[in-house]
Amino acid sequence: MLIGSFSLSAILTAVVRKLSSRIGFVAHPAIDRYHSDVIPLGGGIAIFVTLMAFILAGTAAIKFPILPGHLSRLSEFANIDPADFLARIRELAFMSLCALILFLLGLWDDKKPIGPFLKLAVQFVVAIIAAAIAEIRVEFFIENRFITSALSALWIVLIINAFNFLDNMDGASAGIAAIASSILFIAAATSGQVFVGGLALVFVGTLLGFLVFNFPPARIFMGDAGSLVVGFFIAVLTLRTTYYHQAQSGSWYPVFLPLIVMAVPLYDFISVTIIRISQSKSPFVGDTQHFSHRLKNSGLTQTQTALTLYLATLCTGLSAIFLYQVNLTGAILIFAQTSMILAIIAILETTSRNEKNTD
């Protein structure tokens, strides 16, 4: 699944890149953007098509077996429980519908920018569909369906926008999403969740295939058509992965794993939002005040900036994996380490901002 999705994504990205250049579907340099060259858009098309192709192919292979004993061999080869997969077809259908809506919304915005409030309204509609109808929602410790659906919808919208905000520099959004999804894959595998783990693997392969052309210097951008879909799938993985096993009398603090894995994206989203509001600007109007921009302004290259973001995400994500194995003291240390990593980011941001103000 990983190799297959990687290969298809890379091929589609290469094709879309050429077609986008021919038809003029490109991103031009602007005052609120960091790039100085004309870059093809449409990477989101390759990402979306790859994900949908694997979801549809997997569903068809299990729903409509062609050869005798096909399902048993598939189960042995891929460790997939056909019954579990078939039970999730409704969930997959609504999840795919939500992704399609976000993809079309992003594609529309890439072609002709639309207002932030319309985009936010559609995101909430999609999040409510996913949480209330598809039942992709958080359930631990809370039995009220309305509350869990509301919290899950808010989380989905938050993560969608966090990764939309991250799509501000070459390789940032896709690379961090690939790292976060890899951590979630390990968490799902630890919990024995084959379905969620398989979805995470396909997603990681898709992102890596796109990164072949998006890692600095980028030769194609994913655009909102990609970042909205990427954020949605990350949100789905965080909500569908099991972190707490009551039957095993396990510790409760692994439920904070998504927050630690998403520490860097959430920090960037929250800090940029606060900065823009303090400047009497709309938090949804793009600019060059992200953490990545400050790193670059302090003297790093685009490649060094991307690698710094990746390492920060890895540092928090790898620590989160051990929440399953540590006691309360260990969990506190992991939370403290995450806070210190974010503090380092804050110091770098503040230093860069002060240097810019004194120039």
- Neighbour count for residue 82 (Cβ, 10 Å): 16
Give the pLDDT score at 25: 93
How remote is the C-alpha of 28 from its chain's centroid?
Answer: 25
Give the pLDDT score at 295: 72
Give the pLDDT score at 89: 82
Q: Are 76 and 199 in contact (CB under 8 A)?
A: no
Give the pLDDT score at 77: 44
- 249-260: per-residue pLDDT in tens? 456 777 888 999
Tell me if residue 40 falls in helix, strand or coil.
Answer: strand
Give the pLDDT score at 84: 60
Nearest residue to 126 via CA among 86, 155, 148: 155
d(CA 343, CA 307): 18
Whole-Å CA distances, 28 to 34, 38, 111, 186:
10, 5, 12, 39
DSSP β-ladder status, 26-27 and 39-40: antiparallel
Number of domains in the chain: 1
d(CA 105, CA 125): 12
**H-helix or E-strand containing 39?**
strand 39-40
d(CA 174, CA 227): 8
The rounded average pLDDT for each run of 10 residues, N- to C-terminus, in the chain (359 residues) is: 93 96 86 72 96 88 60 49 66 93 95 90 96 84 83 95 89 94 90 85 96 94 96 94 60 82 90 82 71 72 88 90 83 91 79 53
Give the pLDDT score at 14: 97
- 263-296: per-residue pLDDT in tens? 999 988 888 888 888 887 777 776 666 677 777 7
Tell me if residue 27 falls in helix, strand or coil.
Answer: strand
Q: Is the dihedral of CA 125, 240, 87, 206 positive or negative?
A: positive
Of the CA atoms within 13 Å of residue 40, those in its CB half-sphere come to 20
- DSSP letter for 26, please: E
Report the first-to-last Cα separation within the chain, whole angstroms: 51
Give the pLDDT score at 88: 75
Name the H helices within the chain: 2-23, 43-63, 70-78, 82-87, 89-111, 116-128, 145-166, 172-190, 194-214, 223-240, 257-261, 263-278, 291-297, 302-321, 328-358
What residue numbers bound the domain in which 140 lies?
A: 2-358
